[in-house]
Amino acid sequence: MARTSINQIILFVKDMAGAVRFYRDLLGLEVRYPSHLEDVTDEMWVELDGGACSLALHGGADEAPGKGHQIVFKVDDLEGMWQKLHAAGVEIGEIRLLEDGKPAAKAVDPEGHCFTIR
């Protein structure tokens, strides 16, 4: 049987520049495309390097996302990233142990997308 893997996750956003600042500047993902632009305000598509899969931001969203999804980001320093996000005013819960015994914290990005840092 052929192996399936996740290639890309697409988030629909209203404020492209704000979403890029969040995922690039706060979470530390590098912009893959368009890598040559500093101002992405008018872009409809921006891809960020998420390691094994990319995180694509698609502009033009006209409503807030539902809460039926969540992206999990692996970070090197959970406490440090929690402090950075909290200081930036991100809606983030306390670090707690999950069912697998590993610590994590759930949060919401500026567009309303749910995510977890582990």
pLDDT at 61: 86
3 part of a folded domain: no
Q: Which of 48, 75, 67 is nearest to 109 (CA)?
A: 67
Q: Alpha-carbon distance 27 to 117, whole Å?
A: 9
Q: How many domains does the chain have?
A: 1
pLDDT at 117: 95
Q: Which domain holds residue 80?
A: 8-117
Q: Is 118 helix (H, G, I), strand (E, B) or coil?
A: coil
Q: Alpha-carbon distance 26 to 85, whole Å?
A: 7
**Do 95 and 103 form a contact (C-beta atoms < 8 A)?**
yes
User: For 39-92, what is each residue's pLDDT tens digit?
Assistant: 999 999 999 999 999 999 999 888 878 777 889 999 999 999 999 999 999 999
Would you say the pTM of this structure is higher than 0.75?
Answer: yes
CATH of residue 66's domain is 3.10.180.10
